[in-house]
Amino acid sequence: MGASASRYREVYEAASADPEAFWLEAAKAIDWTTAPSRAFDPEAGIYGRWFPDAVGNTCHNALDRHVAAGRGDQTAIIYDSPVTGTTRRIAYGEMLDEVRLLAGLLTELGVGKGDRVLIYMPMIPEALVAMLASARIGAVHSVVFGGFAARELAARIEDAEPKIVLAASCGIEASRIVPYKPLLDGAIEQSRHKPSACLVLQRPQAKADLVAGRDRDWAEAVTEARTRGVAADCVPVAATDPLYILYTSGTTGRPKGVVRDSGGHMVALAWSLPNLYGIRPGEVFWTASDIGWVVGHSYIVYAPLICGATTVLFEGKPVGTPDAGTFWRVCEEHGVVTLFTAPTALRAIRKEDPEGALVAKRDLSKFRALFLAGERADPDTVAWAERVFGVPVIDHWWQTETGWPIAGNPVGLGLLPVKHGSPTVPMPGYRLEVLDEGGKPVAPGTMGTIAIRLPLPPANLPTLWRDDVRFRDSYLTTFPGYYTTSDAGFIDEDGYVFVMGRTDDVINVAGHRLSTGSMEEVLASHPAVAECAVIGVKDALKGEVPAGFVVLKAGQDGAGSEVEADLVRHVRDKIGPVAAFKLAIAVGRLPKTRSGKILRGTMKKIADGDEWAMPATIEDAAVLDEIAASLKTRGLPE
């Protein structure tokens, strides 16, 4: 389909000209208890609230209504787990039974509307049952990614104050079993808040010890509840009530609790799946991410189910489970029409299968489009994927905060011409501007910070969990009247957006969002460290990897010593393996300005091998030369 056939412009303009009418129309895709009489109240909340008088339930829209409409036998979830050798298809009707039962059990355990439910589970169907059961009774779930360490989990438990934790005994990585329970026990011990109960799903790969009086065996509890006929109906909640909290990296060690409204979330997802991703009910959509990330919340779980599609829940990796052909096996076997993954995954596959031989072996006749997000999609990887698949390869850009894409190429409205390196154009409701440091809009093609003119569209965060002040300070005060994305980039003459990188201390490692500030806090807490700086350096596979430069306290062994290895272990223990922190370099001094600010930007340029100029404000020019020399001798990890 060519650009002339795309309805994008008229749809985007309709949303800008009359957002009330546009979003009220979009809201008709949802089955409400009380339908919205208005789309937006500019007086409510911090920048206004979406669907202020609507009432409904997300679980009802994801399951009950499809079953009531006769889709009970349609497959809702295809669980494909190469790490356990399992494939299981779960119908909408079956899923509804499981969710009603667990929701009933949660109610018996004292969980009610507005209570938090923390979910610490890998990519297994029970995790989706847990999310939907929480939504069903109006509770607020918070899913924590399995690659975090106990300290990170503790920070989330302390902030969300969950009444109950739903956990599995372990996750399964390509190379090892990850026992979750010791991490959970450690986190609860560290946290000032203690959940009243934990329901633990025992996986055969690693059984967990249960704490008497607090922990219950999931399977036993569910089986017992089933014999008693336990079940819960949907609890209607306000569209402005939170469906979930999802923690994401900020610039400090304290994660940000992104709040998601129930109503706006349903509407934006129901709009985006057909119009952006081009998915129709009954089709198979696969998002190869993790339910611990926003991409997983929106496009593994909620959007496909709200729209009556079939979602693939994949417990594996792009490579190593067992090989670089796994993705294409899944696409062929399950008739996937659209795959959504991270550029890193493609780079990992390409490394092992450069010519796409494993793709050519498969019948991918149903495969229509490949979507990429989570990090910048480098043009080289996009071009490779286009060549190998012969379908549109679509970069799209979003953040945990937004809940759905800010910019993309709308397949459902008619594809626009692709420009490599650009996630194409803003989605309806996103009024983007590129601003200079003083907050003035810049000319097309000029770099600046990409900001979204308020109000943010539906599904975007209304605030941070119990922290309006941090919400305002982090996003709204830099440029009054705008939300700052903290992404730098430009918009070209054709209105195409280009997103080049973060303007803050957040780095993107293998599509995972991490805070260098948080790694610095952990390094600084080590007894051997006097001061430190962590930067993200370019990496051919993961996009970026962290590198820590540390000045050790007097009397410590320096470069190449055991202390460096200990620091790597320290970050892994405190933040988790997902930090991919593998390089700590002891240096004599850190480069600083005369006012004492560490010159991280210049260090990064040196590490990346980019052109760099000696900053005029530097306190001692020789320090940068020392950094360059230590990088040369030490190199970066493979």
Q: Which residues bind ligand AMP (CB under 6 A)?
A: 248, 293-294, 373-377, 395-400, 423, 485, 487, 499, 502, 508, 513
Rounded to the nearest whole angstrom, what is the least distance from the CB of residue 260 to ligand AMP in the complex? 13
From 94, 161, 173, 467, residue interacting with ligand COA (rule: CB under 6 A)? 173
SS3 (DSSP) at 597: coil
CB 201 within 8 A of CB 170: no
Which pairing describes strands 284-287 and 256-261: parallel, antiparallel, or unpaired? Answer: unpaired
Q: Would you give the binding string for ligand COA spanning residues 351-390, x where CB under 6 A is met? A: ----------------------xx----------------
* Residues recorded for the chain: 638
From 104, 179, 318, 489, residue interacting with ligand COA (rule: CB under 6 A)? 318
In the bound state with ligand AMP, the residue whose beta carbon lies nearer, of 116 and 502, is 502
CA torsion through residues 208, 212, 213, 219, sign: positive
The DSSP letter of residue 543 is: E
CB 69 within 8 A of CB 80: no
Task: Give the binding range for ligand COA (CB under 6 A) out of 30-38, 224-232, 253-261, 340-348.
Answer: 340-348
CB 185 within 8 A of CB 212: no
The DSSP letter of residue 540 is: T
Cis peptide before 304 (omega within 30 of 0): no
Structure tokens at 583: 């390089």
Whole-angstrom distance, CA of residue 335 vs CA of residue 331: 6
**Binding flag, residue 131, ligand COA (CB under 6 A):** no
In 3D, which of 348, 400, 354, 350 has the Cα closest to residue 373? 400
Which pairing describes strands 432-435 and 425-426: parallel, antiparallel, or unpaired? Answer: unpaired
**Binding flag, residue 178, ligand COA (CB under 6 A):** yes
Q: List the end-to-end C-alpha distance of the chain, in Å, as a whole number.
A: 41
**Binding flag, residue 293, ligand COA (CB under 6 A):** yes
CA-angle at 385, arms to 379 and 389, nearest 5° = 150
Rounded to the nearest whole angstrom, what is the least distance from the CB of residue 82 to ligand COA in the complex? 13
**Binding flag, residue 146, ligand COA (CB under 6 A):** yes
In the bound state with ligand COA, the residue whose beta carbon lies nearer, of 137 and 506, is 506
Q: Which does 248 bind (CB under 5 to 8 A by kind): ligand AMP, ligand COA, none?
A: ligand AMP
CB 24 within 8 A of CB 438: no
Gyration radius of the chain over CA positions: 24
Residues in 559-618 that interact with ligand COA by CB under 6 A: 577-578, 580
> In sequence order, what are the beta bridge partners of 75?
91
Rounded to the nearest whole angstrom, what is the least distance from the CB of residue 468 to ligand COA in the complex? 28
**Binding flag, residue 284, ligand COA (CB under 6 A):** no
Rounded to the nearest whole angstrom, what is the least distance from the CB of residue 287 to ligand COA in the complex? 8
Alpha-helix runs per DSSP H in 18-91: 19-26, 58-59, 65-66
Structure tokens at 542: 């993961």
In 3D, which of 161, 155, 152, 147 has the Cα closest to residue 118? 161
Q: Which does 303 bind (CB under 5 to 8 A by kind): ligand COA, ligand AMP, none?
A: none
Rounded to the nearest whole angstrom, what is the least distance from the CB of residue 411 to ligand COA in the complex? 18
In the bound state with ligand AMP, the residue whose beta carbon lies nearer, of 77 and 377, is 377
Rounded to the nearest whole angstrom, what is the least distance from the CB of residue 338 to ligand COA in the complex? 14
Q: Which does 508 bind (CB under 5 to 8 A by kind): ligand AMP, ligand COA, none?
A: ligand AMP
**Binding flag, residue 345, ligand COA (CB under 6 A):** yes
**Binding flag, residue 325, ligand COA (CB under 6 A):** no
Q: Which does 146 bind (CB under 5 to 8 A by kind): ligand COA, ligand AMP, none?
A: ligand COA
Rounded to the nearest whole angstrom, what is the least distance from the CB of residue 580 to ligand COA in the complex? 5
CA torsion through residues 386, 341, 499, 350, sign: negative
In the bound state with ligand COA, the residue whose beta carbon lies nearer, of 279 and 345, is 345
The site for ligand COA, by CB under 6 A, has a size of: 29
**In 10 A of CB 329, how many CB atoms?**
16
From 511, 536, 543, 548, residue interacting with ligand COA (rule: CB under 6 A)? 511
**Binding flag, residue 424, ligand COA (CB under 6 A):** no
Q: Which does 171 bind (CB under 5 to 8 A by kind): ligand COA, ligand AMP, none?
A: ligand COA
Alpha-helix runs per DSSP H in 501-542: 516-524
Task: Point out which residues bind ligand COA (CB under 6 A).
Answer: 145-147, 171, 173, 178, 288-290, 293, 295, 317-319, 341-342, 344-345, 348, 373-374, 509-512, 542, 577-578, 580
